[in-house]
Amino acid sequence: MIWDTHAHLDDPVYLEDFDEVAVRMKAAGISRVTNVGYDFLSSKRSIKLAEDYDFIYAAIGIHPHNAVEATDEIWAKLLLLAKQPKVLAWGEIGLDYYRDLSPRATQKEVFIQQIKLANEVDLPIVIHNRDAHQDILQIVKAHPPRCGGVFHCYSGSWEMAKVLLNLGFYLSFAGPVTYKNARHTVEVAVHAPLDRILVETDSPYLTPEPRRGKRNEPTYVQEVVKKLAELKNLSFEDIAHQTMCNAETIFKNTTSL
């Protein structure tokens, strides 16, 4: 039983074969998926999927690419969405200095605001970080999430990871940990404590080896589990079980399920 803790199954690429994707996923032992919002509308779609499918849960929030869209009205609407029973986290939020689709000052302001909102509704946060390591560190130190958080598709160094682990964060691994040039990610995966790691696909993006180049889907999170098992010299079942337990710990709203 595996939990894909970060996917975007509301993406249009799944419109024609979503039910087939779900069948393949269940057959592969993927028992839960967190569908993650990146703006208000995708957050609503995530909740709708969670309502329609018992194995899907939702996270809501504004991605740094969409930071310029944030308004007081949007915050009020997201606070209402956050109270829905299958919403497990506030995310994905953070900073992206690679594409810079929103001004960096705006990204930082919106990131801080969402940490505060997550604290207000007692939700952990899901963090997107791309080429913004130092600013991310400064913000999470100055504005700690009260219910903890996850660095999705972790891409930083082991030195940064040690700081984040000391701050109580979880590190999530996706397809890139299987890539041949993923030296830093592999180093982190080898050293990260077993009780602080998660697995994800970020579907439809970041397809793992050996399926790289194809559309990603939750079934392929198996490849991430396999790689972590190899790196940590453990069984596939050990990693699947531990990452499921870890997800249940950070996403506390699942304790009644």
Give the number of other Cβ atoms within 10 Å of residue 197's Cβ.
22
Full residue range of the structural domain in which residue 29 is found: 2-254
Cα 174 to Cα 7, 27, 140, 253, distances in angstroms: 10, 20, 22, 23
What total of structural domains would you count in the chain? 1
- What CATH number should be reported for the domain holding residue 86? 3.20.20.140
pTM for the model stands at: 0.96
Encode pLDDT of 97-138 as tens digits. 999 999 999 999 999 999 999 999 999 999 999 999 999 999
Evaluate the omega torsion of the peptide bond into residue 210 and state whether it is cis, within 30 degrees of 0.
Answer: yes
pLDDT of residue 256: 43
Tell whether the model's pLDDT for residue 34 goes beyond 60.
yes
